[in-house]
Amino acid sequence: MIERKLMIFRMAAELGNFTEAAVALGMTQPNVTRQVAQLEKELGVELFIREGRGIKLTPGGKMLLGETEQLIAAATMVVGKVRSAAAGIKRYRIGATMTAGGYVLPTLLTLFMREHPESHLDVQIGNTADISEMLKKHLLDMALIEGPFDGNCFFSTRLLRDELKVVSAPGCFSGKEFRLAEYLKAGGRFILRENGSGTRYYFNEYLQTHNLPPPQDANVVEANDFETIKRMVRDGFGITVISELAIVDELAAGSLESFAATEGGLRREMNFIYLPTERLKFIEQFIAFCRHRISRIKGIDGSADE
């Protein structure tokens, strides 16, 4: 298959040597050379210039390398669709950002697949920027995100409204009142999601809206995993701003405390985004299903917003 040749090509390009690529791939050097030669023949262009024992990409090779990741992912998806069709299975790929993928989507996926056993729903988790890019490249059928998105590019349907809370270890602040401005002025430490995430985007936007300065770089620890963030906050290393959906269990257990900043609430929406593809019928079916059953998610009261 073409994706196998592309994987071999990518490894050879990254290492700049057919022999080293063969070792890394567990193949023989002649086999690697032969596979690359077949790929060059199929494309009708040379991909490498042989320089002694090493190799160097041609202009055509550089162009192909830039597209290789997307081509491999697309080819792998096609193979999966073909095999699923042969087995009578409908397979779909759904993207999700961290909050959506960790605390909302799993239960909905389980409920849907139990009611529709012929459908298999695979999930790709990432930050808003990465998931949006994958959807643009048609590597996903749809996505559930809590971050900003290009309304000129995607169709969208709101699933629910979400609120971000200031969260600390128990007993760090007296009472339930928290002044974010004072904490920033005092140089307090924040444990935050990385730039590119929806949570970080809305926190930065909140600071700008309320004319608050961003925390100094020296006072920010970034992490792209909620469990890491919650553990560091539980240990008293700093505070975070996180979705209330992500701390339901910790609040119930008393291992974390949440506060509404006196400057005002921090609310956002969680949206399905998608492109008009041949899978639009499934997309509409899944969205309707989720909106009807959203109240079954722990920490969410009522049904989806209208």
Tell me which residue of 36, 27, 24, 78 sits closest to 60, measured CA to CA: 36
The domains of the chain are located at 2-71, 84-160+268-296, 162-267
CATH of domain 162-267: 3.40.190.290
Domain 84-160+268-296 and domain 162-267 have a common topology = yes
Say if CB 95 and CB 134 are below 8 A apart: yes
Task: Look at 268 and 4; give whichever has higher pLDDT.
Answer: 268
N-terminal to C-terminal alpha carbon distance within the chain: 47
Whose tokens are 């042969």? That residue is: 86
| Position 211 pLDDT exceeds 90 | yes
CA dihedral 174, 177, 182, 188 (to 10 degrees): 60
Q: How far apart are CA 240 and CA 164, in angstroms?
A: 10
- pLDDT beyond 50 at 303: no
Q: Which CATH class is domain 84-160+268-296?
A: alpha beta
Phi and psi at residue 30, to the nearest 5°: -60, -35
Q: What is the pLDDT of residues 287-296, one digit of tens each?
A: 999 999 987 7
pTM, full prediction: 0.69
Q: Is the pLDDT of residue 66 over 90?
A: no
pLDDT band at 71 (very low <50, low <70, confident <90, very high): confident
CATH 1.10.10.10 fits 2-71, yes or no: yes
